[in-house]
Amino acid sequence: MRDTGKHQGLRNQLVSVLEQKGITDKNVLAAIKKIPRHLFLDSSFEDYAYQDKAFPIGAGQTISQPYTVAFQSQLLEVEPEHKILEIGTGSGYQTAVLCTMGAKVYSVERQRELFKTTSLLLPKLGIRPKHLSFGDGYKGLPNFAPFDSVIVTAGAPFIPKPLMAQLKIGGRLIIPVDNEQGIQIMTMLIRKNETQFEKHEFGEFRFVPLLENKN
């Protein structure tokens, strides 16, 4: 679990790249500057960990490109103590960013292999989400609802109703959704009241698909 001055230098460079690409949230940038992304990857990728690229992490999943993590995190407008539901724990890197920003993170992962690995890794790095669970992301975590925001880190064919239902009024749901051409469009829903949501779209992104049921 080594994190060296060289790694820190590479993180500083990555933050500069993200700023050039339009990430302005100081808390997001500070979290990315702090978190050792190379420890979330297979050691064979260590030399590339601070490039703005996605990498495979096992179980057919990927660790998202840092720009994507930063973009989604910025859309959430995280404040300290915010309760955030994360669908797709994956490597735990996005989880770590949100925890470092002061959020209380409740995360769901459907791949048992990833769930086990990440559950062991995060505490070693001093990252303590409120709740990590192995389950079906389409269902969310109704027992812990409502949430200030919900972030989905996989491309969905539609926006799952349970996730909308678990959002506080004024809360934000950030999710990549397939359009008719099968292109994933980053989508934000803001809950206005019990029944109404305001929708915003932010262009094309690439994610692994959001699958139902546990594996």
Q: Which residues are catalytic?
A: 64
Three-class SS of the chain: CCCCHHHHHHHHHHHHHHHHCCCCCHHHHHHHHHCCHHHHCCHHHHHHCCCCCCEEEECCEEECCHHHHHHHHHHHCCCCCCEEEEECCCCCHHHHHHHHCCCEEEEEECCHHHHHHHHHHHHHCCCCCCEEEECCHHHCCHHHCCEEEEEECCEECCCCHHHHHCEEEEEEEEEEEECCCCCEEEEEEEECCCCCEEEEEEEECCCCECCCCCC
